[in-house]
Structure 1
Amino acid sequence: MRDHQENTPPRQEDIEADDAEEIIFLQDDLPAPMADEEDEMEEVTEEELDQMLDQYLGKDESIMTFDKHKSPVFSCSLHPSKNWASTGGEDDMGFVWNTNTGEVVHEISGHKDTVLSCTFNFDGSYLASGDIAGEIQVFKLSDGIRKVWEYSMGDMCWMKWHPSANVLMAGAESGEIYVWRIPSGDCKILPGQGHKCESGELTGDGKKIFAGYGDGVLRLWDIKNSTVISEVTSTHPLAHTDNVSTVSCDPENPLYMSGGEDGKILFVSNNGPVGSVETAGPVECVAFSTNPDYKVAASGSLHGQVAIWDHAKQSLRVTCEHNEPDDGITILRWLPENTLLAGTIQGNLLAFDGRSGQLKFKLEGHAADIYSAQYDARQQILLTVSEDTTAKIFKCPIGEV
């Protein structure tokens, strides 16, 4: 082995004064840039400079960035009438902030774990925040923002408001589903079977909950009677064989769908499964079209596939084409004009024509996974939140509903 001292540079005091002087003179003798070369340098236009900055920093097409969170942001909501947004994240914080200025209207403290849901109710009279440990707070928004109710349910997987009533719902790690009237706190508990309730969605009639569980089971619950209307267990030939990661309900008809880590999508009626399809990899999100005249549903996978299905025939209608086939899909939202919005792992927002599958537009700005999004038709804006610790507002280039 060579002596390590062979590669050790000499100490400064070992360099003789004459040698040091010579080094200085050599540096002084280096030629200066030629004047002609400076004159020949091309001027960079403002547009070219913007393009260079976009390549270096990443393009940002948002009109507002909220950066008060210190960790990834998981939940977002837009107030139905005020210029307010609410967000909740891994920093155990929730915020209400002005969508025009970014100014904080209210800080939601008191959580001791990741805030999974921080959302306004249907008419903007209440705001609910819930963390992964199951600590829930509800705030009344008239005459300021004041807490009127709280509850501790144990580890939580999801929480959602009823779309037309002051009713709050949440699925538990232990499998139960809690349903509360707000602000009285009257509670129904739909019992679990020891497996987490990974996903849940209210049906179009507002009376039932379609829920997916960690063991692959699906249950359609009657909320009023706390009973199971139908169930798909492992004994059924179409059943999921792994965790049900996502569910959706047709807003107009008694039809429901689920997506699982087994790569399967099930279509289910009140009487049980009516069909299934296989996709490319684990299904991360599913969504029925909100247009009653266009009876399709969409799915997104972490392998980057966005597919639109004819649910009457349980067949593939079209695969949406985009230039980032390995950019995994994290969320799906149907927007006006049959536009399907997909959020991705790389922070892109891809909007597809729901009929042809062609890419309509792309919005850039986030630097990592997009976790949630909400569209406001009144202002034609899109609110998004991301792993990159920010919330952003984009002007959405589609017409009003």
Structure 2
Amino acid sequence: MSTDPEHFEEGVEDDEFIDPNDVYIEFADDGDHLMDEDDGADGEQFMGDDGEHQPEESIVYEDNSMQHFPSHNGSVFAIATHPIAPLAASGGEDDLGYIWDYTTGEELVKLTGHTDSVVSTAFSADGEMISTGGMDGKVRVWRRVGKENWNQWEFLTELQGPDEVMWLRWHPKGNVLLAGSNDSTVWLWQLPSGNTMQVLAGHTAPVQCGDFTPDGKRIITADAEGTLIFWDPRNSTPVFKLTPTDVRFDMDGITSLAVNPASTLAVVGGATGSVRVVSLSKGEVVGALGGHKEGESVEAVTFVELAGASTAPSAGGVVVTGATDGKACIWDLGTMRLRTTLEHEDAVTSLLRLPQPKSHLVVSASSDKALRTWDARSGTLVREHKGHQGPILQAALGLGGGVVVSAGDEGVCLVFPTE
């Protein structure tokens, strides 16, 4: 099988890649300490004025959300927002997906056909299609009906191949869909035809994370055994592969990754708190970041744009990593040093960077039931978003970064203003 090359840019000169001078430095923890289990709001909510424990049903939960969507019957695992319209697509434990209006909370379309939990939802770059991926191995795609509004969608096709879908990503410019599978394979389809373009076989464990590079030219994937593979989507042979046999890349499994806007660097998070910086031009590790507690999984990585921090390919940029230790660490990749640390009372599950002109703002979601908007320049808390009664499993930005939409383990999606 081969890729239709029209979906991938040809004849573009290679970006200037960073020159990291092959530096590999392990930076120690900055000395921040985790909160004790008894610290924080969760421990206090159950205490009355007389010091006696209150039954949970008597607790009044704070809720500063703008809107809510309670239609799921079970945990909500996935949330995605439309690139133009005020629509969200959620997927859950009830084997269902929904498209709903996050300004009104109105349910628009029920996305059916799965026989197991829907763990990923994703809108195409132009917003004309929506895909859902399930633990049943199915990838189902719907498309918008007509051009009058965004509220009518029809089922398009079901894509076969994966054993169990781990994640879905659309190409940043074209109608090409990428999926990582529990059976160690990576799938690439062309839409709306549904034709399989590539089956990328090189992993030996569940492919837990992956994406297209921002320039759309390459694919990066990583698995539960700690192997990272960089692909040309037109070729089934890896551009390069990093494995735990390289002691500098022994991460006990990879749980998250992100690529910088210049498509020159990847930051990779591990299952035991390790973070590695990889040069995509050289195919090798160029740095290690040691700010998270050992043994705690790094669940989220995102790049941010800060005034005064160089975004040139030679600088690397600024990245935020979030882990189950409750920390979100902000790193300057030009120096490989920690700028500041953001704190939650439980695991950080999602990190989102607002677009320009507010790209210095980052939203973090946590298992502590709260989301927080931070100024990444200083680490200052801008706003706290409360309303969930269970861990927040995923979040997405909408209205050009004006709102954040969150998916809760208690079965409810909430909408908050980011500022």
TM over 0.5: yes
SS in 2 for 1:238: helix
Partner residue of 2:261 out of 238, 251, 255:
251
Q: Does 1:88 align with 2:107?
A: no
Residues 378 and 269 from structure 1, CA distance in 2 versus in 1: closer, same or farther, beyond 3 angstroms? closer
Select which of 233, 244, 263 maps to 1:234.
244
- Cα separation, 1, equivalents of 2:101 and 2:215: 33
Shift of residue 82 of structure 1?
2.6
2:346 maps to 327
Structure-to-structure mapping, 1:259-270, within 5 angstroms:
259-270=269-280
Partner of 1:286: 301
Most deviating of 377-386 and 361-370: 377-386
- In structure 2, the residue matched to 1:174 is 183
Match for residue 117 of structure 1 among 115, 120, 125: 120
Q: Deviations over 1:2-41 (max 9, x none)?
A: xxxxxxxxxxxxxxxxxxxxxxxxxxxxxxxxxxxxxxxx
> 3-state SS of the aligned residue for 1:303?
coil
Which residue in 1 is equivalent to 2:103? 100
Q: Which runs of 5+ in 2 are unaligned?
A: 1-56, 147-151, 312-316
Three-state SS of the structure 2 residue aligned to 1:57 is coil
Worse-superposed segment, 246-255 or 290-299: 290-299
Question: Which one of 180, 190, 201 corresponds to residue 191 of structure 1?
Answer: 201
Question: Higher relative contact order by CA 8 Å / sep ≥ 6: 1 or 2?
Answer: 2
1:229-271 CA-to-partner distances (Å, cap 9, x unmatched) read 1221122121133110001000124100110112110100121
Q: Which has the higher helix share?
A: 1
Distance 1:290 1:369 in 2: 28
Counterpart contact for 2:139–2:165, Cα < 8 Å: no
Task: Give the AA of the match of 1:184.
Answer: S
Give the letter aligned to residue 376 of structure 2: G
Q: How does 1:2-401 map to 2 (within 5 A)?
A: 56-143=59-146, 144-153=152-161, 154-187=163-196, 188-270=198-280, 271=282, 272-278=284-290, 279-280=292-293, 281-290=296-305, 293=310, 295-320=317-342, 322=343, 324=344, 326-335=345-354, 336-378=358-400, 380-397=402-419
- The separation in 2 between residues aligned to 1:104 and 1:317, in whole angstroms, is 42
Q: 2 CA distance for matches of 1:233 and 1:284?
A: 20
CA shift, 1:55, in A, is 8.7
- Contact in 2 for aligned 1:286/1:299 (Cα 8 Å): yes
Query: Which structure 1 segments of 5+ residues have no match?
Result: 1-53
Q: CA deviation at 1:142?
A: 2.2
State how far apart, in whole Å, the 1-side matches of 2:395 and 2:415 are.
Answer: 10
Q: Are the equivalent residues in 1 in contact too, given 2:301–2:322 (CA < 8 A)? A: yes
- Shift in CA distance, 352/82, structure 1 to aligned 2, threshold 3 Å: closer
Conservation of the 8 A alpha-carbon contact between 2:305 and 2:318: no
Deviations 1:104-132 (A, max 9, x none): 21111110011011222111111111111
- Determine if contact 1:346/1:367 at 8 Å carries over to the other structure: no
Whether contact under 8 Å (2:157, 2:194) holds in the other structure is: yes
**How far did residue 85 of structure 1 move?**
1.7
Q: Distance in 2 between matches of 1:96 and 1:283?
A: 30
Relative to the length of structure 1, the TM-score reads: 0.81
Deviations 1:34-64 (A, max 9, x none): xxxxxxxxxxxxxxxxxxxx99321111111
Native 8 Å contact 1:251 1:290 kept in 2: no
Partners of 2:165 and 2:202 in 1: how far apart?
Answer: 13
SS of alignment partner, residue 272 of structure 2? coil
Q: Highest CA radius of gyration, 1 or 2?
A: 1
Aligned partners of 2:203 and 2:227 also within 8 Å: no
Q: Distance in 2 between matches of 1:331 and 1:257?
A: 15
CA RMSD of aligned residues (A): 2.0
Q: Structure 1 residue runs of 4+, over 4 Å off?
A: 290-294
- Measured after TM superposition, the shift of residue 170 of structure 1 is 0.4
